[in-house]
Amino acid sequence: MSDGFGIDHLPYGVFRWEGERARIGARIGDGVVDLSALELGGVPQEVWVANSLNPFLALGRERWSAVRRDLQAACERGVHTMPIGEVELLCPLDPPDYVDFYSSIEHATNLGRMFRPDGEALLPNWRHLPVGYHGRSASVVASGTPVRRPLGQRPPAPSDESGAPSFGPSLRLDFELELGFVTGNGPPLGTPIAADAAREHIFGVTLVNDWSARDLQRWEYQPLGPFNAKSFATTVGAWVTPLEALAPVAVAPPAQDPEPFAYLRTDDPLAFDIALEVALVPAGATAETVISRTSSRALYWTMAQQLAHATIGGARVRAGDLFASGTISGTEPGSFGSLIELTWGGRDPIAVEGGERTFLQDGDEVVLRGRAGTVTLAEARGRIEPSPDVP
């Protein structure tokens, strides 16, 4: 059994085999189970012949649990699998919406110290609510999809007395180590989801790399927030891990001060101790360098709080929606979840195989990995390609 993909895991994804239609499968070991070939939880077989997990996610928590029980029983009896190396893995989601949060207090503090060295590291709202922004769901791609360096406006160079921006490829391209969760359908428009009810709507988790063009973002994000600097690609793992598989690594979240508003309080926070790492394979190299190791256990704002806050104004949640934690960083330099932190804004290059890096170069490949006890999360991998020609 391939390490981390046993019967206690059984993540879901979308695959295609020998030119056939896309369909939903589960991974066990190094094999893929075609769910359309089984009778699981009373789900019609046509649900499994789909381009994304969305139709299955729309069935809700009761059906998700029934399918998992039946699938585990089938795997214990023995099921036919296709070698994972012989199928094409597709993006598991077609998100109607995508939200990226800012939930790591270590990451937020690092950036605050970097950008506001003479002021408070955290803005006044940060400890009161999970800060977030709406990303571009059409740019969510599966692990292994190449990421093209974006074009955009860059801030004026310090030496340019005119104060004029420049235009061209991003020169400060970065990764962001994140943990995302995906949902089923929520209540009608105008009806918030209580933090205590979040488990009923969250199906599972995936690693997320919300790539960031730091120079473009610096110029464009005020006063409304990220735009083109974050819309060019968001990479997710090819397999989504069910929430039930994470039960052994559930933890109490960090203490919050001040106490949050009542709508953000819950005895079921959905906080997990998932060991995370980032590896970088520099352009032209064959070996990778692990440049960061951290854990999701220290996230200040939990999944339950993120979902509760995202819907408190009445926003609707739909099957396949993706919510990401924001960059996850620890307290030490080797545990930071982005290059802007690891190199402290490009000031301190880090050593990698065959050289050093401040930000990503064309041909570099970034790999995010996660381990939750006996469960291995599907990696999120992407290689940087050159930008298109300047218009």
For 352-366, the pLDDT digits (tens) are 999 999 999 999 999
For residue 354, give both structure tokens: 């065959």
For residue 157, give both structure tokens: 């160079």
Q: What is the pLDDT of residues 47-101, one digit of tens each?
A: 999 999 999 999 999 999 999 999 999 999 999 999 999 999 999 999 999 999 9
Mean pLDDT of 219-243: 95
> What is the dihedral angle through the alpha carbons of 371, 373, 377, 379, rounded to the nearest 10 degrees?
20
3-state class (DSSP) for residue 293: strand
Mean pLDDT of 150-163: 90
Amino acid at 10: L
Asked if omega into 386 is within 30° of 0 (cis), the reply is no
For residue 49, give both structure tokens: 């012949």
Cα separations in angstroms, 60 against 43, 203, 220, 222, 341: 11, 8, 39, 39, 39
Whether the predicted pLDDT of 45 surpasses 60 = yes
The pLDDT value given to residue 157: 87
Residue of 9, 107, 201, 309 marked active site: 107
> Given the DSSP bridges, would you call strands 212-213 and 234-236 parallel, antiparallel or unpaired?
unpaired
Continuous segment of H or E residues that includes residue 311: helix 303-311
Is 107 one of the catalytic residues? Answer: yes
Domain architecture of the chain: domains with CATH: 12-90 (2.30.30.230), 98-385 (3.90.850.10)
Q: How confident is the model at residue 302 (pLDDT cuts 50, 70, 90)?
A: very high
Q: What is the pLDDT of residues 126-149, one digit of tens each?
A: 999 999 999 999 999 999 999 999
Whether the predicted pLDDT of 1 surpasses 50 = no
The pLDDT value given to residue 194: 98
The pLDDT value given to residue 2: 65
Q: Are 141 and 93 in contact (CB under 8 A)?
A: no
H, E, C per residue of 37-97: HCCCCCCCHHHHCCCCCHHHHCCCHHHHHHHHHHHHHHHHHCCCCEEHHHCEEECCCCCCC
Q: How confident is the model at residue 244 (pLDDT cuts 50, 70, 90)?
A: very high
Percent of the chain residues past pLDDT 90, beyond the cut = 94
Whether the predicted pLDDT of 33 surpasses 50 = yes
Mean pLDDT of 15-28: 94
- The whole-angstrom distance between residue 375's C-alpha and the CA centroid of its chain comes to 17
Q: How confident is the model at residue 163 (pLDDT cuts 50, 70, 90)?
A: confident
Cα separations in angstroms, 131 against 49, 189, 305, 307, 321: 37, 21, 11, 12, 18
Integer Cα distance of 145 and 379 in angstroms: 12
3-state class (DSSP) for residue 169: strand
Q: What is the pLDDT of residues 367-377, one digit of tens each?
A: 999 999 999 99
3-state class (DSSP) for residue 167: strand
Q: Are 280 and 352 in contact (CB under 8 A)?
A: yes
